[in-house]
Amino acid sequence: MAVTEEVPEARVREPGPSVKPRWCLGTRLLVGASVLWAVLLVLHVLLAGRWWPWLVVEAVPPVALVAVPLLLLALTPLARPVRRWLAAALVVPLAVGAYLADLVPGFPDGAVRGTEVRVFAWSTDYWQMTDDKDAFYAFLRRQDADVYLLQEYLYWVDDRPVRIDDSARLRREFPGYRLSVEGELLTLSRLPVVAEHHREVPASGDGWYWQGAKTQRTDIRAGGRTVSFYNVHLPVPFRVGDNPLGSGFRSFLKEQYDRRDRELSALRADLKANPHPAVVAGDFNSPWMGRLRPLGAGTEGHRPDGSPFAGFSWPVSDYPLPRLWRLDWLFTGGGVGVPDYRLGGGEAFSDHVAQSVRVVVPREAS
C-alpha cells in the first residue's frame, strides 16, 4: 500500500500593524514653529497693554502678524506627511494676524456735512534742536492748518528735559493764532479757543515733564459748535539702544508702562465724560492702537488714505530701521467726519512723518 505523505498547509501570516513613517526633521521643525506662532499670537492678544514686560513684544511691527504665517504657509509643501492639514491650520493665525495688524487702506468719509477744519499733527523731534529754524518754520507755515497739534516742544540737555519758550517767534510766524502750551505739547488755533484744560504740575524741577499731562485738551469753536482737540504724546515704552538684560532697562520699562497706562486711562475717562465732538491725534508710541488696543470711549479710529503701506509713520530718520511702524494715530468722536487723511512731510526735521487731516464737524441737530 502506498503511503501518502500529508503536505502541511502553508502558513499564512497575519499582516502586522502598519508602521507610520517618522516625520523628518524639517517637518517637525515646521509643525513646531506653527504651534509656537499660534501660542505667541494668543499671548499677544491676551497680554498686549495688560502686562508690562510684554511692551518689548509690542515693539514688533504689526506686519509681522501677516508675514510670519505667510512664510510658514510657503514652506508647508516641505512637510509632505502633514502639508494639507498644516496649511489649513495656518489660515487661522493668518486671518487673525491680518485683522489685528489692520493693514487695510483708509476710505474717505464724505457723508458728514458741516464745517471743515484742517488739522496738522506732528511729533517734531525736540523742536528743531539741530535743524535750520527758518526752514522748520517755513515748513509749518506751508501746512496752512486751522489747528496745529505739535508734540516735543522742548529740548534735552544731558538726558534731562528742558522747557523752552519760542512764543515770540511763534506769534510772528502765525499771526492771529492762539497759542496753548502744556508741558511739551503745543496747540495753535486760528479758530476761537473756548477753554484750555491744564493739569497742575510741580513748580520746580522737571516734574512738569515727568508728572505733566501727555494729553492736552483744547476746546475750540468751529461752525457754531465746541469741538475738543486732544494733542497726544504718550511715553515711549523703552529707549532704543538700552541693554535689555540690565536692571535699568527693566525698571524703566515698568515705569513707562505705568505712565502710559495712567495717561491712557485719563484720556479715555475724559473722552467718556466729554459732551463735545472730539478730534484726538498725536504720537501714541504704540503700533497697536487700532484693532488690538482701540482708544474706545465712543471714538472711531481712522487709517490714512491710500495703500496699506501708506499708514507707516516711523522711522523716517535717526534710526537704521525700515519704516514699518505706525506710531501716530487719529481718532474722532461725536460724529466728526474725516474726508481726507494723509501721512507725509516732515522727514527733513523729525523721525516721524506728519498727519495732515481734514475733518468735518457735523451741524448740531436742531
Instruction: Tell me what pLDDT residue 278 has.
Output: 98
Task: With residue 172 as reference, give the H or E element that holds it.
Answer: helix 167-173
Predicted model pTM: 0.90
By DSSP bridging, strand 147-151 and strand 114-123 are: parallel
Cell of 153: 516742544
Same domain, 173 and 306: yes
Distance CA 180, CA 122 (A): 15
Distance CA 120, CA 352 (A): 13
In a domain, 5, yes or no: no
In a domain, 293, yes or no: yes
Residues 6+ apart with CB under 8 A from 31: 23, 79, 82, 86
| Distance from the Cα of residue 210 to its chain's centroid | 22
In a domain, 7, yes or no: no
In a domain, 55, yes or no: yes
Final residue in a domain of this structure, among 101, 134, 150:
101
In a domain, 1, yes or no: no
Final residue in a domain of this structure, among 101, 129, 153:
101
Cell of 132: 535750520
Same domain, 157 and 180: yes
| CB 330 within 8 Å of CB 355 | yes
Task: With residue 179 as reference, give the H or E element that holds it.
Answer: strand 178-182
Cell of 209: 515733564
DSSP character string of 336-358 = -EEEEEEE---TTT-SS--EEEE
Same domain, 122 and 225: yes
Same domain, 225 and 154: yes
Same domain, 162 and 307: yes
Same domain, 70 and 195: no
In a domain, 108, yes or no: no
Same domain, 123 and 245: yes
Q: Coil, strand, or helix at residue 166?
A: coil
Distance CA 210, CA 235 (A): 9
pLDDT per residue, tens digit, the chain (366 aa), is 555 555 555 555 555 565 566 788 888 899 999 999 999 999 999 999 999 999 999 999 999 999 999 999 999 998 888 989 999 999 999 999 999 998 877 777 878 899 999 999 999 998 877 889 999 999 999 999 999 999 999 999 988 999 999 999 999 999 999 999 999 999 999 999 999 999 888 877 888 998 889 999 999 999 999 999 999 999 999 887 787 888 888 999 999 999 999 999 999 999 999 999 999 999 999 999 998 999 999 999 999 987 777 789 999 998 889 999 999 999 999 999 999 999 999 999 999 999 999 999 998 876
Same domain, 31 and 60: yes
Same domain, 234 and 175: yes
Exposed/middle/buried for residue 187 (C-beta within 10 Å: 0-12, 13-18, 19+): buried
Q: What's the number of domains the chain is made of?
A: 2
Distance CA 164, CA 155 (A): 7
By DSSP bridging, strand 278-283 and strand 300-302 are: unpaired
Same domain, 57 and 175: no
Same domain, 321 and 207: yes
In a domain, 356, yes or no: yes
Domain that holds residue 96: 25-101
At 215, which CATH number? 3.60.10.10
In a domain, 2, yes or no: no
Final residue in a domain of this structure, among 71, 101, 131:
101
Q: Coil, strand, or helix at residue 250?
A: helix
Backbone phi and psi for residue 351, each to the nearest 5 degrees, phi listed first: -85, -5
Same domain, 275 and 189: yes
| CB 126 within 8 Å of CB 200 | no
Backbone phi and psi for residue 106, each to the nearest 5 degrees, phi listed first: -80, 160
